Chains A and B, each alone.
Chain A
Amino acid sequence: MLDEGQYPHFDHLIDLTKGAINRKIFSDPETYQWELKNIFAKCWLFLGHESMLPKKNDFFTAYMGEDPVIVTRTGDGDIHAFLNMCRHRGNRVCRGDRGNARQFTCPFHGWSFRNDGSLTSVPGYKEVYLEKLDLEANGLVKVAKLATYKGLIWATFDQNAPPLDEYLGDMAWYLDMAVDRLEGGIEFLPGQHKWQVKCNWKLPVDNFIGDSYHGPVSHGSAWQSGFEGQPLRLAGYGREGFQVNPGQGHGFGARWAESYDDVVKMALPEFRDYETARAPKTHERLGDLRGLHLSPMHASIFPNVSMLWQSGSFRVWHPRGPLLTEAWSWCFVDKTADEDHRREVRLHELQRHGTTGTWEQDDVDNWVQTTAASKGYAGRAFMQNLSMGVDDENENPQEIHPEFRGRVGRFQSEINQRDFYREWAKRMNDHSLPNIAGADAN
């Protein structure tokens, strides 16, 4: 599938000085195959939250790129992740989305695996394999590394990957504004939206990492009809915030608040009582910049995680070929939130985002048609324009506030998208093989 002797280069497709991106990368099948290797087999990928495994022997299934995985909590409380692939013929050993099970039995020939991945029984082990099958070597394939960041579970197939903290870099510090803003952190509510969109996986990531610009037009209908809270909370193309770029392809956009009063005013009206009580606690916990001034709206974490702060949306964009993406979206709440607030967050999330979301729906066709634009020969000859704020990337935001890390752009700036594609090109040009333990072939 990939010719390891013919390494393509991707640098020329991205011109960061102009913010110009070659549209080929949104539909080219060969580029996609290199993405599966150079990005999805080597990056840290998001699997879920610890609250999805509350009990011993709980499990859920997920994807890492196109690879299906099972995530389990064993009897000793440890979390594991394996390829959901029988070592015999590659059949999926678990066909459930979530549940509680000590073992998984392959529906093809009946090989059974314990939820720590070990192969425990093979029908006909004596009679047909004459005891010559190496049971120990044929357990489910474990991910190379698994780690959690404040409840968020991540894994990578590459043993050479840096530790998770290093991979997330300063984004982890900013991520605390969601996952560590109150004592106890967050949890994911049960249930996840899953749907497929005929678009390239990078376009929604690009949208969430820094496109504050599309709101008034793409989401004009939701703003006008009561889905931006009542009364209308935001309007226009204001500059009263920043796109924050901690680097490594991660980024987020945030409004700027000077006081608790500002924080509360920027919150959805239904959340204002909650925010009034929360704001001073988070300020004390996270300090001035993260605890008071920055009111984050949207974010992406390289390569394929996105978030929305207020309604508690946390999602993964699973690649399904160059022209198809599967969205998995959860809703998170502060662990200490009471039932009323949980209900409000849940309603806001599902009425705005996800399958029936009044905001979400209107994004979808934009991504579909942007992908389609990259298929025609003539259209592909013109570059995607991500030039907004290209001459105004602030490398020293400490001048604005001493606690800033990374770089910032104006609230309306494509600085984060440019950094996402910079990271993409850097990783796509790194043709070193992922170190998948025990792999027979690359």
Chain B
Amino acid sequence: MLDMSIKTDIETWFSVSQFYALEAHLFDDWKFRDWIDLLDEEVFYWMPMISNRIGREVGKEVGSIDHLSHYEEDKTSLSNRVKRLETGMAWAETPPGRTRHMVSNIVVEPGEEADTVNAKSAFLVWRSHLEVDQEMFAGKRLDVLRPCDVTGWKIKRREIIVDHATLTQKSMGIFF
């Protein structure tokens, strides 16, 4: 039976939803240092690659953890990526690109560990760079969040499934 029951209360849902909106504004306002503070010390941030499959292999489009991925990061590598953007020599973002992160379709469920929640969301990210480069990224995020007194939530795990096989975007230096 398809289970469409609501697995959270409105307060939790509202809190996660506001957390995502504030996070999106941090991305779009280039406040990446602040975004790093939203990450748990043990965060696992992963964006697998997508391939076209046929026949019996339809459904196996998403790469596995031991495959080459777009992103396979911990807090140190993400912090280093942010440090790179601050050098003034990260030419792919110098001058900075313009992004707008739209996050929606948020579904929250209790997580496996006490206090954590699993949150699923969809995103569309618009990016424009230099004169006329214009790119769109679409996908979904599967998060494990834990409550935090300071930032509301901390991201313990983020799995990002993009709806692109071969990227037509010239590079992917932004976060999702």
Contact = CB atoms under 8 A, between A and B. Distances in A.
Interface string A171-215: 000000000000000000111111111100000000000000000
A277 interface: no
A326 B89 contact: no
Contact of A218 (B81, B91, B172): B91
A221 B80 contact: no
| Residue of B48, B56, B172 with highest tally of chain A CB at under 10 A | B172
B166 to A, nearest CB: 4
B170 interface: yes
B166 A195 contact: yes
Contacts of A197: 170
Contacts of B91: 218, 221, 361-362, 365-366
A96 B57 contact: yes
Interface stretch (A31-39, A98-106, A162-170): A98-106
Interface in B61-83: 63-64, 66-73, 76-77, 80-81, 83
B84 interface: yes
Given A190-B64, A190-B68, A361-B92, A225 B166 contact: no
Interface in A326-380: 326, 330-331, 342-343, 346-347, 349-351, 354-358, 360-362, 364-366, 368
Report, nearest first, the 6 A-B pairs whose CB atoms are least far apart: A191-B68, A191-B67, A96-B54, A361-B92, A225-B84, A226-B80
B39 to A, nearest CB: 16
A342 B88 CA distance: 32
B18 interface: no
A224 interface: yes
A361 B13 CA distance: 36
Contacts of A196: 166-168, 170
Contacts of B67: 189-191
Contact of A362 (B47, B70, B88, B90): B90
13 contacts: A97-B53, A99-B53, A101-B55, A197-B170, A217-B89, A221-B89, A224-B84, A226-B83, A330-B68, A346-B72, A350-B72, A356-B71, A356-B171
Nearest to B71: A356
Contact of B66 (A190, A351, A354): A190
Interface string A361-402: 110111010000000000000000000000000000000000
A326 B168 CA distance: 9
B172 A96 contact: no
B173 interface: yes
Given A101-B55, A195-B172, A226-B83, 15 more contacts: A95-B52, A99-B53, A190-B68, A192-B49, A193-B68, A195-B166, A196-B170, A220-B89, A224-B84, A226-B80, A342-B66, A361-B172, A364-B92, A365-B130, A368-B170
A244 interface: no
B77 A96 contact: no
B70 A227 contact: no
A373 to B, nearest CB: 14
Interface string B146-176: 0000000000000000000111111111000
Nearest to B91: A362
